[in-house]
Structures are given as C-alpha cells and as structure tokens.
Amino acid sequence: MKTILTGIRANSVLTLGNYLGALLPMVRLANKYSGDDEYQVNIFVPDLHSIISEVDGDLQENIIRTLKYWLAAGLKLDKNVHVYRQSYVPAHSELCWILNCVATMGETSRMTQYKEKSEGRESCNVGIFDYPILMAADILLYSAQYVPIGEDQFQHIELARNIAMRFNHKYGEVFTVPVSTAEQVKFMGVDEGIRIRDLLNPEKKMSKSTAAAGSKIMLDDSPELAAKKIMSATTDSYGKVKFDMWAQPGISNLLQIEALLTDTPLQDVISTWAGETRYGELKKKVASSVSQTLEEFQKRLSEISDEQVLMILGMGENYANEIADAKLKEVQKAVRLR
C-alpha cells in the first residue's frame, strides 16, 4: 500500500491557512481513497516539533483539540487511517539522530523557515535548526510517498528527499523517496502549492504568529467575525478582479480561498469572477463561504469527545510503533549499529 502522511503542530488554535493548506486537502484525499486498499493514511501531531517555539495555552489540551480538528473537518475513519502522536513513537527521535549524521549543516542552514525563525534572535534553540531533519524522519519511517502540506513546507520535503537519496546511496536502498513537490501538488489535485495570504498584508502568508487579529482567521473565530475579516481584507486599486499573485495578491487570495472552500477548480472560480469590478461582491461571496464552513466545522467540533480521540490514538500508536520500529531496525542494520 502507498502511504499518504501529514502532521500539524499543536501550538495554538489553527488558522484558516492550516485548514486550507493541509487539513482539508488531506481529509479530501483520505476520504477519496477510503475503503480501497491502495493507500493508507497517516495523520499525526508532531508534538516534538511543537516545543521548538512558544505554545499558546496547555500543550496537552492543544494536542487533543488538534486531533479533533481532523474529525471536525470530515475525516472518515477506517482500518487504513492511522492517527498518532509523534512523541509516543520513540523511533522518530532515534531516526532523527541517525539522519542528523547524513544531513549537512549547509543544506539545513538554507531552510527559509530556520532563517526566518532565527533571524534577529540572540539565541535560537537547536530544535529550530534540526526541525526539518525530524520532519524527514517522520516521513521516511513510514515510507510515505505523498505528503500533503502547504507551500511553506515544500523546501522541507525536498530536503527529506535529498537525505533519503543520500542515505540510500551510501547504505543501500532502505528508504522510499517521497515524490517531488511538483508531483505532490498534482496528487493533491491543486494547480499550485497552497499559500493562504495574510488578509491585511497579502504579500505574506497567513500565520498564527502575526499579531494583528484582522490578518488571520482562526478556526475558533465566530462565523460573523470571520466574515467581517474577509470584508476588511486588503485588496488593490486596479478595480478589476484578476488572478495575479504578484500584482493583485489580496484579490488572488480571496479567489484561492473560495476555490478551496467550495472544492471548485481554481480556474473555474477565476473565470466566474474575471472582470468583475465590484470587489465587494467577491468579498461577500467569500465571507459567506468562510462563515458557513466555520459554522459547520465548529458544530462538529463541539460534538467530538476527548474519549473518542483517545480511543483512536490507542490503535494508531500501536500501529505506528510497529511500522516505525521495523523501519528503524532496517536503518540500524544498514549503518551497522546492529
């Protein structure tokens, strides 16, 4: 079986960017292949990745809430869907160390996320630097070929591919190399990597760490508040709807959000709105899609109990430990630790 795998950190309530960039594409893929035995789906909370930076609130509560998000986003559970927490599968940290000895300082220092997170800080923890190597371990332990993620993580996928290829070259064919980011995009069924923009500064990506509340939609925003944020989103003075991320990033962002929320090909949404001169009309439509989605999502979320989540984790972690331990043993043998 081919493996589709992704993880979302549990540092705080998630944004609409996380929802549209990773949660929803993964849920759509999982449900599409649910019931056939060609693909299995691994969903996990990278809790070790969470502690590289500040956690908003209590990490344990955030972990459970993040897991509930998957169910609230419509994930159908079946025997081929496995849900687990990274720190409950010790092989992730163990493989990370071995991969640390294959990855180079040069390639890891080039990661944009590391550069952004460490920039201007007097001291930056080593976890921030090592983040993509642990991420490579998360993927390679399960021989995952498909990793649905937002565009900001593409560099990390390419790094994981390079590490896997280098390891295989040196020690023998141990790892399945994930497909390239161009292939990932195709597999996700989108036209290009997903990057939901900051609503007030659409040149930047929407991020939970941006201070201005109006710049991001949080998954616990009331549907009315979220609609207001869309209505106040920064646009431009061209006066004509056109998809152009460079010249009209605000408008393009709204078109992208609309396409993903309504599960419509981006090109169709672009054609529907092409040439419209009243930005307010587009905003009203997107505001309605966002508020409707949040209303349904939040209703489902309130119906999921902690017990439900803990039960799924019990099964998922047994499975994950079995697969991960077997792959780790193969790696240890290859490098002659065993």
Q: Which residues are catalytic?
A: 117, 205, 208
CA distance 273 to 148: 28
| Comparison of 22 and 312: residue with beta carbon closer to ligand TYM | 22
Assess 8 for contact with ligand TYM (CB under 6 A): yes
- Closest distance to ligand TYM from the beta carbon of 157 (Å): 8
Measured in degrees and rounded to the nearest 5, phi and psi for residue 266 equal -55, -40
Which residues neighbour 122 within 8 Å (Cβ) at sequence distance 6 or greater? Answer: none
Q: Which span (15-23, 229-237, 256-264, 265-273) binds ligand TYM, by CB under 6 A?
A: 15-23
Instruction: Give the one residue of 71, 73, 194, 331 binding ligand TYM; rule: CB under 6 A.
Output: 194
| Comparison of 69 and 273: residue with beta carbon closer to ligand TYM | 69
- Closest distance to ligand TYM from the beta carbon of 239 (Å): 27
Measured in degrees and rounded to the nearest 5, phi and psi for residue 63 equal -65, -50
Closest residue by Cα to residue 309 from 139, 16, 87, 85: 85
Assess 25 for contact with ligand TYM (CB under 6 A): no
| Comparison of 85 and 205: residue with beta carbon closer to ligand TYM | 205
* Contact by Cβ (8 Å): 86, 46: yes
Q: Which single residue brings its beta carbon nearest to ligand TYM?
A: 21
What is the three-class DSSP state of 184?
A: helix
Q: In what order do the strands lie in the sheet containing 81-85?
A: 81-85, 39-45, 2-7, 144-146
Instruction: Give the one residue of 30, 196, 218, 290 binding ligand TYM; rule: CB under 6 A.
Output: 196
Assess 249 for contact with ligand TYM (CB under 6 A): no
Assess 22 for contact with ligand TYM (CB under 6 A): yes
CA distance 253 to 217: 13
List the beta bridge partners of residue 189: none
Instruction: Give the one residue of 3, 4, 12, 18 binding ligand TYM; rule: CB under 6 A.
Output: 18
Radius of gyration of the chain (CA): 20
Torsion-angle region of residue 336: left (phi > 0), alpha (psi -120 to 50) or beta?
left
- Closest distance to ligand TYM from the beta carbon of 338 (Å): 26
By CB neighbour count within 10 A (0-12 exposed, 13-18 middle, 19+ buried), where does 307 fall? exposed
Instruction: Give the one residue of 4, 7, 95, 177 binding ligand TYM; rule: CB under 6 A.
Output: 7
* Contact by Cβ (8 Å): 304, 68: yes
Judged by CB under 6 A, the chain residues 107 through 146 that form the site for ligand TYM are 135, 138-139
Which residue is listed with tokens 């079995």? 322
Judged by CB under 6 A, the chain residues 41 through 70 that form the site for ligand TYM are 46, 49
Q: At what angle do helices 266-273 and 249-261 cross, to 10 degrees?
A: 120
Q: Which span (2-10, 28-36, 95-103, 297-305) binds ligand TYM, by CB under 6 A?
A: 2-10
Q: How many residues bind ligand TYM (CB under 6 A)?
A: 24
Assess 255 for contact with ligand TYM (CB under 6 A): no
Judged by CB under 6 A, the chain residues 148 through 167 that form the site for ligand TYM are 149-150, 152-153
Element (H, E) at 243: none
| Comparison of 103 and 281: residue with beta carbon closer to ligand TYM | 103
| Comparison of 26 and 334: residue with beta carbon closer to ligand TYM | 26
Site residues (CB under 6 A) for ligand TYM? 5-9, 17-18, 21-22, 46, 49, 135, 138-139, 147, 149-150, 152-153, 194-196, 205-206
